[in-house]
Amino acid sequence: MDYTLSVTKKQAAFIHAEADEVLYGGAAGGGKSYGQVVDAFLYAVRYPKSRQLLLRSSFPALERSLIMTALEIIPASLYKYKSSKHKMRFFNGSILEFGFLSHDADVVMYQSAEYDVIRFDELTHFTEYQYLYMLSRLRGTSGYPKRMKSTTNPGSRGHGWVKERFINPAPPNTVFGTEQTRLFIPARVEENKFLMEKDAAYLSRLMLLPENEKKALLYGDWDIFEGQFFGEFSREKHVITPEEIPSYHKRFRSLDYGLDMTACYWWSADTEGNLTCYRELYKSGLTLSEAAKEIVEMTPKDEKITYTVASPDLWNRRQDTGKSGIEIMAAEGLTGLIRADNRRVPGWRVLREYLRGNKIRIFANCVNLIRTLPSLLYDARSPEDASDAPHEITHAPESVRYAVMSRPPLPTVKTQKAGRFTPGELQDFKEENTITIKKRK
């Protein structure tokens, strides 16, 4: 007798992923727990006497999700389940163990354990300490691939460290890292055809959530949090894969210089006023001369830069040399600098309009801009201004503010009311895959 399990293409990508650490999910309804259990089942069947641990943050959550799903979809003839020990033992000796970690101290329950695969369900419900400690429990002499495979939605207490570990370093569906590789596979509810067929109203219920919760759970947006200055920023809308820039586009640079950080960005502007940020220099400890050299070296000789809009303080004279910053930089070949319009509140308003109107795009290789722009916070003393703390994340947004203020004013456009649902926002569902398990004779 054969057993057939249907999975979506995103679930199949999670199952076949070979990175050392894999994170799957993003939005609610993407079939995360189902994909996790199917993957655990296939691994158990493929690798005799393997050991896997599936974790939730509490035992009630474990019973309602992973255990219930496993008992429903894995053929009962292939295993014996001991509810007292929360262990599923397969015909070939493989074991699925179900556990929980409510507090950091709970990791001691696993201090002598060895696993081939550890699986976190709803990873943002755990602390970074718990995750890193359990990473050390991946060990043993079986010779089987050792992996940490997790699923989650954005939000909760672990949002920050999960985002820093899996989301910020590289674009989705891209394996990164050397000694320890990682991969983030995003999934959205409309890609789960099985849920859409059985509960079509679920999508409408998600649309009723408050704006930030909707962005997190419906769109899987990792850049939404309380106090965020640019809630309009969306990786899906504003971050693109690097592509060839048409030769007729006007090119310019924006520069926010400081000894603590040089943030220089290369821009192209099309005939409709849309801006594309296509290159990034984000480096600390550079002197004026060193910063100028790097900017010149990073600019191809045949690339025509019409101007570089820069921090107004570069026009001040230095006491040690008697020269201004622009004079020092010009000596290294960086010329054509113009003084930036440094008005903060008007500048942030203009940038907000660029984001709302999808008039700005950022190449995925500008990783620090992508990281810092959505991390900018409101200033508690001035609600229309951005906070200058933490200072490290302000340099790139300042440089972008100079860039948009150097361009002609945007035409007034009507924007769609927040929260209105349009079918065009949905992605087309990709046809599902099936996996067939042939029972051993």
Q: By residue range, what is the domain housing residue 66?
A: 2-226
What integer best gives the mean pLDDT of the chain? 86
More confident residue, 66 or 380: 66
Kindly give, in sequence order, each residue whose CB lies less than 8 Å from that of residue 227, ignoring residues fewer than 6 positions away: 377, 378
- 208 falls in which pLDDT band (50, 70, 90)? low
Q: What is the largest CA-CA distance in the chain?
A: 87
pLDDT tens digits, 142-187? 999 999 999 988 877 788 789 889 988 888 999 999 889 999 998 8
Q: Is residue 268 in some structural domain? A: yes
Tell me the CA distances in angstroms from 394 to 101, 373, 391, one per residue in order.
36, 8, 5
**Quick one: pLDDT at residue 376?**
87
- Indicate whether 79 and 32 sit together in one domain: yes
Q: Is the pLDDT of residue 361 over 60?
A: yes
Q: Is the pLDDT of residue 121 over 70?
A: yes
* Domain containing residue 191: CATH number: 3.40.50.300
- Indicate whether 68 and 213 sit together in one domain: yes
- Indicate whether 78 and 189 sit together in one domain: yes
Label residue 321 left, alpha or beta by phi (over 0 means left) and psi (-120 to 50 means alpha).
Answer: alpha
Q: Given 390, 405, 420, which residue is the final one in a domain?
A: 405
Q: Is residue 410 in some structural domain? A: no
Q: How far apart are CA 268 and CA 242, in angstroms?
A: 13
- Indicate whether 335 and 391 sit together in one domain: yes
Q: Which of 93, 141, 101 has its CA nearest to residue 118?
A: 101
Q: How far apart are CA 20 and CA 13, in angstroms?
A: 14
- Indicate whether 240 and 179 sit together in one domain: no
Classify residue 108 as exposed, middle or buried by CB count within 10 Å of its CB (0-12, 13-18, 19+): exposed
- Indicate whether 392 and 300 sit together in one domain: yes
* Domain containing residue 314: CATH number: 3.30.420.280
**Quick one: pLDDT at residue 90?**
96
- Indicate whether 213 and 242 sit together in one domain: no
Q: Is residue 249 in some structural domain? A: yes
**Quick one: pLDDT at residue 26?**
67
Q: Are 253 and 334 contacting, i.e. CB atoms less than 8 angstroms apart?
A: no
**Quick one: pLDDT at residue 123?**
94
- 7 falls in which pLDDT band (50, 70, 90)? confident
**Quick one: pLDDT at residue 115?**
97
Q: Is the pLDDT of residue 225 over 60?
A: yes
Domain count, the chain: 2
- Indicate whether 270 and 208 sit together in one domain: no
- Indicate whether 167 and 261 sit together in one domain: no
pLDDT tens digits, 230-247? 988 988 899 999 999 999
Q: Please list, residue by residue across 16-47, b when 16 or more beta carbons sit within 10 angstroms of its beta carbon and e when fewer do.
A: ebebbbbbbbbbbbbbbbbbbbbbbbebbbeb
pLDDT tens digits, 250-259? 999 999 999 9
Q: How far apart are CA 233 and CA 169, in angstroms?
A: 17
Q: How far apart are CA 121 and CA 173, in angstroms?
A: 19
Name the token pair of 248: 């007729």
- Cis peptide, bond prior to residue 48, ω within 30 of zero: no
- Indicate whether 118 and 175 sit together in one domain: yes
- Indicate whether 122 and 212 sit together in one domain: yes
